[in-house]
Amino acid sequence: MEPLALTGNYRLAAAIVFGMMLGIIFIRSEIAWRKTFIDQFSMRNSQLFKTLFFSIGIGIMLFYLLKVTGLVRFHIAPTYFWGAVLGGMICAAGAVFCGQMPSTAVSAIGAGRIYALWVFVGMMMALPFVQLISSGLLESMKKWPRPMNYAESLDKFFTGGNIFIWFAIGSIIMSLFFGFISPEKGGRNKKDDQE
């Protein structure tokens, strides 16, 4: 069996439906709201990190099963150690200011939060800037020394046992950990939010 790999108009139609489903999940799980990000970073509500790590845990197991059957293939964008470290750091600094990610900003605009449009504008302005620095900083970053045993995928680090299962369990434990250190208030529901 092979991935379906849709093309043409089928791909476009599937992308629109897929985007709609993602938009619905972001709104219903409250990931689209700026407050969810701000509260998460202040460790007052762990909805974001719980969702992130739980989805990774389930996703690892699903990916492993689908890969065995041949329905999906590895698709990992080439990343560099220092790029990932610095990128994560800068991205975190930006998220603290605006409380949005590219996709959640679009969801927030769809839900009437017009202020997310400024986040969208900021993101648009960053892209020409990245082109400007790409020949200098980004190229030199690729040459910075990285850990000796750095490999593209984590399964190459470990031998023995199924590393997919261990990482899936570890991610779900992380999800439970974030739920434990900043539990949601028991009575918090939709009505409370709107009061």
Distance of CA 101 to the CA centre of its chain: 9
Determine how many CB atoms are found less than 10 A away from the CB of residue 52. 17
Rounded least distance, CB 176 to other proteins, Å: 10
Q: Say if CB 158 and CB 89 are below 8 A apart.
A: no
Cβ at position 187, least distance to other proteins in Å = 12
Q: Is 173 in the site for other proteins (CB under 8 A)?
A: no
| 14 lies in the binding site for other proteins (CB under 8 A) | yes
- Closest separation in Å from C-beta 5 to other proteins: 4
182 binds other proteins (CB under 8 A): no
Shortest distance, position 92 Cβ to other proteins, whole Å: 4
How many residues appear in the chain? 195
Residues 6+ apart with CB under 8 A from 41: 95, 96
Interaction pattern, residues 89-108, with other proteins; x per rule: CB under 8 A: xxxxxxxxxxxxxxx-xxxx
Determine, following the binding rule CB under 8 A, whether residue 68 of this chain makes contact with other proteins: no
CA distance 6 to 45: 39
